[in-house]
Chains A and B, each alone.
Chain A
Amino acid sequence: MTALLEMRGISKVFPGVRALDNVSLTVEAGEIHAICGENGAGKSTLMKVLSGVYPHGSYEGEILYAGAPLACRNIRDSEDRGIIIIHQELALVPLLSIAENLFLGNEVAKRGVINWAEAFQKTESLLRKVGLTEAPTTRVEKLGVGKQQLIEIAKALAKDVKLLILDEPTAALQENDSQKLLDLMLELKAQGVTQIIISHKLNEIGRVADRITIIRDGAAVSTLDKADISEDRIIRDMVGRDMAHRYPDRSPQIGETLMEVKGWNVWHPDQKDRQMIRDANFHVRRGEIVGIAGLMGAGRTELAMSLFGRSYGRNISGSVTMGGKPADTSTVARAIDAGLAYVTEDRKVLGLVLEEPIVRNITLANLMGVATNGVLSLRRETQVAEEYRRAMNIRTPNVMQKVVNLSGGNQQKVVLSKWLFTDPQVLILDEPTRGIDVGAKFEIYGIMNDLAAQGRGVVMISSEMPELLGMCDRIYVMNEGRLVGELSRAEASQERIMALILQSEGKAA
């Protein structure tokens, strides 16, 4: 094998920060090379150097590509050489068709006049390559995230890609879409497309990668061959410490029932005859961490949001009791008063006011807690925020920083602080560790354990089964809007959860 790409001694300095420190990376022609590292380790910066986002001259070191030096002035240069990045945030135009998206900026045209017949033909052959059967005229907004990801890859193929870089491609995908994507990567590899994948998900890396480079604090720590890849080793190199225990220890002290939901039914907000939640019954006890497992679209978020002040759905029926008494959760404010808190899965869109400082985000759901007669005590507010900053270990110089500048893990801690300040009895955490690096995940788990130890009830919704198995005392399994099973910690395993999901499939008439 020969090296397609060699990056030698790359260093990149931002004012005050050395983002990359003498990093070398070799990618062989035809391999899938994984890059691993915590958030902020420098993975993205390295890829931006490669693709010309940071032009030649703004960094130190040299890049050899296909045997010749590479000096990109911009992204266009790197794309012309066949280097294409697919970013985590998809760059498709939702209201345009698949064909229009595939050739956006690269239209099949002569003197500005588009040849639609040829464009559709090319689109169809590209879609076949990525395993899609949609019509080229389908609008992109009609496709799920998984298929949109495949469209992005088709778009790269349209540009005659030689080196494809995928930045956390499965972060927003559910299990079977992820599998399809990984299969496609292996297929492209067979066709000779060299690929770099940036990912947090160690099982995926193990499946597709030939070699893996681990980056920590702006330096390449190690490059492992497939034979040497093990999760423990990767984690050790990523965080620089041995993580024998990926989930912090805890001895549960489970008490009486805190919250009980009975006969919960929810219909879709727009499609009148579509029932999203069917007869859900569950309970949470004091000091308990309860998991809700299920595939994407199983209705877990819908269940949680409909419980939390009817923030989702219509024609909601069923009863909620908190501490044995009927609870009014008909508006968000009342649900908060009843002792319920919901930590959203989408913290940037639903959880935080990004342009506001940490302090204002933390007190937002309980402004009354720092005010008398509607007048805020800015001093008390700052004190409260400072306490949470210390208790949660939010890494920031002070609480006046805007949350938009924080990393994913620290943002999540701000959202958690916000809900803790409402002093809830029961917290529903929806994908609390999504998009968070390994170290911060461990901290979030610790916080969850503390909450349970304080006698609160914790409900954890997660798509990562190992995390549910590692954290929860009890796990409900959800599928097609129904709770289809309940497993104790001792009974639960990935196989049993999947079995419950598959056995219930299609029985929801």
Chain B
Amino acid sequence: MSDTKGIGGHLGNHLRENGMLMALVAIVLFFVLIVRVFEGVDFLSAQNITNLFLQNSYVIIMALGMLLVIVAGHIDLSVGSVVGFTGAVAAVLTVNLDWPVWAVVPACLFVGLMIGAAQGYWVAYWRIPSFIVTLAGMLVFRGLTLWLLAGQNIGPFPKSFQSLSTGFIPDMFGVDKPNMTAIVLVCAAALAIVIMGWRSRARDAEFGMMPEPMTIFVIRNLVVAAALIFVGYKLASFRGLPNVVVILTVLTVLYAFFTENMTAGRRIYALGGNEKAAKLSGIKTERLVFLTFCNMGVLAALAGMIVAARLNSSTPKAGGGFELDVIAAVFIGGASMSGGVGKILGAVVGALIMGVMNNGMSIMGIGIDYQQVIKGLVLLAAVIFDVYNKSK
């Protein structure tokens, strides 16, 4: 009796976190069913799962940076244009000037850093609203992309640069089918998630906080671990772990650790929640905002290179509208427009929801017109759900 009440109460309190995860699972299952029935295709085929990650890696990567920007109480509308611009820079350096990859990658990341710094400077130290500064940046860098590419596509890239996006981790165990490296890594990751969850639950219990009821803890961890291992196995049986998946997993872990466990991350939440109180607590708020934009610039540059590598050419239109996908992902993931609220894992789940919907609807042959309508409604619904939850 008390156990069921505990479960109900807990789900009520943590509706948001579990809700988005459940929504993701539900959307995946929905497409599995629909795609099977109407198109006769396996939605969760190894190839499609690989595609899902390759297609959406850039959204996830930028969502990590955008989460910090939004938690700090700002917004960055320029990231789509920065993706285009850094992709163009990469193309010019690699194709026209014959720079080697090991020089191009840091050079592009540096360009991204400078772009972030330039925008962050006005936002942080001059208090120009970030909406205005990055709207200007959006126009400026789109224009510079066109200028740099002279309106042409530049490509193709050498194999070494393409592997940024389309490369796979080779099998170090020599089995190859299925790729043992992939399976080992994924199992290790699943184990790590369960162990960390267990430790945090133990800490809650120790300090008298209502710990998650055992039933939910077990179910949630089983679902997550099973999903992970399933995805890992599928990837392994196709071409192995894509480089991109490794990059974005590492980044996700790093950013989750940064936001949850590091002083600088904590300060960004305080700054977004109440800037004046943060300032009076000795936090250098201007510098934090500045650095948050620098970070966003670097991640946008990384995404720019991945997009260019995947398309195997730089086009003047690359990255157009990406900022909206990224921002939508962060808000679907539970971040608050007014700052101070939001989680890295939420943003990643938000990006995956967007990605799965894009992919699923494309397979079903739904036109781009309806796709936009549906994505817009999902964003609205997620935020309404948030507001409704809060007002309860």
Chain A interfacial positions (CB closer than 8 Å to B): 308-309, 311, 331-333, 335-336, 342, 344, 349-356, 360, 364-365, 367-368, 371, 374-376, 378-379, 382-383, 386, 397-400, 418
Contact = CB atoms under 8 A, between A and B. Distances in A.
Closest 5 CB pairs of A and B: A353-B273, A333-B282, A365-B281, A367-B263, A332-B282
Contacts of A386: 207
A311 B280 contact: yes
Candidate in A331, A349, A365 with the most chain B CB atoms within 10 angstroms:
A365
Nearest to B339: A355
Nearest to B284: A333
A349 B284 CA distance: 18
A352 B282 contact: no
Given A354-B274, A374-B264, 7 more contacts: A309-B282, A331-B282, A333-B282, A352-B274, A365-B282, A378-B203, A400-B209
B92 to A, nearest CB: 38
28 contacts: A309-B280, A332-B280, A332-B283, A333-B283, A335-B282, A349-B274, A349-B276, A350-B280, A352-B277, A353-B269, A353-B274, A353-B278, A354-B274, A355-B340, A356-B269, A360-B266, A360-B270, A364-B270, A364-B281, A367-B263, A368-B263, A374-B263, A374-B264, A375-B263, A376-B266, A378-B200, A378-B260, A398-B209
Contacts of A378: 200, 203, 260-261
A367 B281 CA distance: 10
Contacts of B281: 332, 364-365, 418
A342 B270 contact: no
A365 B263 CA distance: 11
B261 A375 contact: yes
B274 to A, nearest CB: 4
A337 to B, nearest CB: 8
B203 A350 contact: no
Nearest to B267: A367
A494 B12 CA distance: 54
B367 interface: no
A308 B280 CA distance: 8
Contacts, number: 88
A351 B283 CA distance: 13
Interface in B249-299: 260-264, 266-267, 269-270, 273-274, 276-284
B348 to A, nearest CB: 21
B182 to A, nearest CB: 30
Contacts of A355: 273, 340-341
A334 B131 CA distance: 33
Given A367-B266, A386-B207, A354 B273 contact: yes
Contacts of A350: 276-277, 280
A376 B262 contact: yes
Contacts of B276: 349-350
A427 to B, nearest CB: 14
Interface in B335-392: 340-341
A364 B276 CA distance: 13
A332 B285 CA distance: 11
A457 B273 CA distance: 31
Interface string B187-216: 000000000000010010001110000000
B277 A398 contact: no
Given A368-B263, A376-B262, A378-B203, A351 B209 contact: no
A356 B340 contact: yes
A331 B278 CA distance: 13
A376 B261 contact: yes
A378 B263 CA distance: 11
Interface in B208-262: 208-209, 260-262
A353 B341 CA distance: 11
Contacts of A354: 273-274
Contacts of A309: 280, 282
Nearest to B202: A379
Contact of B278 (A364, A374, A398): A364
A352 B207 CA distance: 23
Candidate in B203, B273, B277, B279 with the most chain A CB atoms within 10 angstroms:
B277
Contacts of B261: 375-376, 378
Contact of A376 (B200, B203, B263, B273): B263
Interface string B123-165: 0000000000000000000000000000000000000000000
Contacts of B264: 374
A336 B266 contact: no
Contact of B279 (A332, A352, A376): A332
A382 B278 contact: no
Contacts of A397: 208
A311 B209 CA distance: 37
A420 to B, nearest CB: 13
Contacts of A376: 261-263, 266
Contacts of B273: 353-356
Nearest to A349: B276
A374 B269 contact: no
Interface string B103-117: 000000000000000
A399 B270 contact: no
Nearest to A385: B207
B264 to A, nearest CB: 6
Given A353-B270, A398-B209, A311 B262 contact: no
B375 to A, nearest CB: 28
A446 B110 CA distance: 56
A376 B267 CA distance: 12
A132 B6 CA distance: 58
Nearest to B274: A353
A344 B340 contact: no
A354 B270 CA distance: 10
A336 B261 CA distance: 23
A355 B277 CA distance: 12
Contacts of A311: 279-280
A338 to B, nearest CB: 11
A382 B262 contact: no
A507 to B, nearest CB: 33
A349 B277 CA distance: 7
Contacts of B269: 353, 356, 360
Contacts of B270: 353, 356, 360, 364
Candidate in B200, B273, B341 with the most chain A CB atoms within 10 angstroms:
B273
A382 B269 CA distance: 18
B349 to A, nearest CB: 21
Contacts of A342: 280
A161 to B, nearest CB: 31
A304 B362 CA distance: 62
A400 B13 CA distance: 13
B271 to A, nearest CB: 9
B73 to A, nearest CB: 12
A351 B277 contact: yes
B108 to A, nearest CB: 28
A360 B277 CA distance: 13
A424 to B, nearest CB: 12
Contacts of A399: 207
A353 B277 contact: yes
A307 to B, nearest CB: 13
A351 B281 CA distance: 8
B265 to A, nearest CB: 9
Contacts of B280: 308-309, 311, 332, 342, 344, 350-351
Nearest to A332: B282
Candidate in A309, A352, A353 with the most chain B CB atoms within 10 angstroms:
A353
